[in-house]
Structure 1
Amino acid sequence: MPDRDTPWPPGTPCWVDCQVDDAHQAAAFYRALFGWEIQDGGAETGGYLMAMRNGRAAAGIGPKPPGMAMPSAWTTYLATESADRTAAAVTEHGGALVAPPFDVLDVGRMLVAVDPTGAAFGVWEARAHHGAGIYNEHGAYCWNELHTDGYRRAQEFYAGVFGWAYGEIGDGADVEYSTFAHTPDGPPLGGINRAAAPSFWLTWFQVDDTDAALRHAAELGATVLKGPEDSPFGRMGVLRGPQDEVFAVIDPTRTAGSPPG
């Protein structure tokens, strides 16, 4: 069971949560799909729910901010040692702050930003809450990737803000895809994919059986947008949840073909 009890290195995808109209309805859906145990933080957290697996934090579910028009969505959070310094870097490199840095009780300090291609993401400065305590197993996130119509501009932005180095694995024509890492020879942390607008961050959850997960999700009210299909990285599918939040599932043990690049 991959787990973590310390803050994630800066620039690493460290947490995911979804903002929806009905957090408790979403909690029931994901509890049934992934086997999550849901903890309610009470009124002081604004209705934020913590999803747990094996006693460790896997993801969050919260209501949309009052008075803010936004679609239901999963948000990827990138770790930082200073939310304030990262906020300055975001604007310096052409991004915009949706929610400037603010304290979240005693658990951390965060911000929400939009990159120059229009994709929203969060930034987390860990205090009492380090981020995901479980990952890369059934019901936990295992990969985060940016889908963007501004591929090179996005690479420049995140390299400037987080210092990412890229490894191109697409063919540069039909497929433009790169992994990002802390160093050129470091382990991949996530990916950037050239795709049609609008730009967004996609959260991937690991499952033991992709076909079964897609069927079960559909029975629970989700819509299968893509898959199941095989790839060199696993058998995968993309879903739209009952409240229109998009996410993906993958069984990395069932691969087909060789990775490109």
Structure 2
Amino acid sequence: MAAHPDGAPCWADAMLNDLEAGKRFYGGLLGWTFGEGEERYGQYTQAYGPDGKNVAALAPKPDGRMPTVWNVYLASSDIRATAGRIRDSGGQLIMEPVAVGDCGTMLMAADPGGAVFGVWQPGTHRGFEVTGVPGSYVWTEVYTRETERTDPFYEEVFGLGSGRIEDDAVDFRIFVPRDAEVGPGNAVFGRFRMGEGFPDELPAHFMVYFAVADADRAAETVARLGGRVTMGPIDSPFGRFLLASDDQGAHFALIDPGTTVGEKPS
């Protein structure tokens, strides 16, 4: 498969209190099957979606004080240079670059608004093997209040282009790979400005979207498996979607990209 361009989301994993419960939840919701967790990597467990291809991973939290959360990893062709730009552009390195065997090299960071993300320079593990189809990753966006600081941060760190989506209702920006034309068709992730209606205590964060074939049925399945639907399902020009949390409190989104209402903004 082609390499992910710098700054494009290339992987996602969830840190959970109960790995086996996570496997039951996401297996029941998204049809995932799972590999055997490796003890040397803290029982990090690959999830497989359509045709047995890599779609994500689940892992038990090494420290119970860590948040229960979905992590997004942005691709880098030179992770040590990326680490330097994170520091220089006002971000914070939470974990310095570390090799994960021959799989690749990772780091964890926070942008100037506090949203935590990972960076992945691939080795033998190239990241998502399939995206955009039911049971796989399809999209991510960073929710932040610090747009004046975070927008230039992602441009400077990953060399991304960006542009605001014209929408009177929300302040939304998309990021595209270096030298790509700015437009929804080239977007690798989005940025949503949190305003009124979002609790002050809600921190900046990335939201991971997984594709489903039927958003309403997926919402019912979330509830049946012990999770919670926090918003939706809602129609949009990009698909019918919902926000949810699993039975351990990790937040994520689901979207049916084939069911759209309205024209896509430019």
Amino acid of the residue matched to residue 103 of structure 1?
A: A
> After TM superposition, which residue ranges in structure 1, 4 or more long, deviate above 4 angstroms?
none
Counterpart CA distance in 1 for 2:120 and 2:165 is 28
1:66 Cα offset (Å) = 3.1
1:8 Cα offset (Å) = 1.4
2:33 is aligned with 1:28? no
2:226 is aligned with 1:221? yes
Amino acid of the residue matched to residue 174 of structure 2?
A: T
TM-score with structure 1 setting the length: 0.94
Residues 82-109 of structure 1: CA deviation (Å, up to 9, x unaligned)? 2211111111101101111101111000
CA contact (8 A) 1:167 1:180 kept: yes
95-104 vs 188-197, greater mean Cα deviation: 188-197
2:59 is aligned with 1:62? yes
Matching residue within 150, 158, 171 for 1:176:
171
CA contact (8 A) 1:167 1:184 kept: no
1:38–1:145 Cα change, 3 Å? same
Counterpart CA distance in 2 for 1:156 and 1:139 is 33
The residue aligned with 2:33 is 37
The residue aligned with 1:188 is 187
Counterpart CA distance in 2 for 1:254 and 1:206 is 11
1:74–1:111 Cα change, 3 Å? same
Residues 63-96 of structure 1: CA deviation (Å, up to 9, x unaligned)? 12337x3211111100001221111111110110
Counterpart CA distance in 1 for 2:81 and 2:4 is 17
Residues 135-178 of structure 1: CA deviation (Å, up to 9, x unaligned)? 1000101001111111221111101101111121143x641001
Amino acid of the residue matched to residue 226 of structure 1?
A: M
Structure 2's unaligned 5+ residue stretches are none
CA contact (8 A) 1:166 1:184 kept: no
* Percentage of pairs with the same residue: 37
Amino acid of the residue matched to residue 245 of structure 1?
A: A
Matching residue within 83, 87, 90 for 1:91:
87
Aligned positions of 1:83-162 closer than 5 A:
83-162=79-158
Amino acid of the residue matched to residue 145 of structure 1?
A: E
Residues 216-245 of structure 1: CA deviation (Å, up to 9, x unaligned)? 011001100000110111101000111110
245-254 vs 196-205, greater mean Cα deviation: 196-205
TM-score with structure 2 setting the length: 0.92
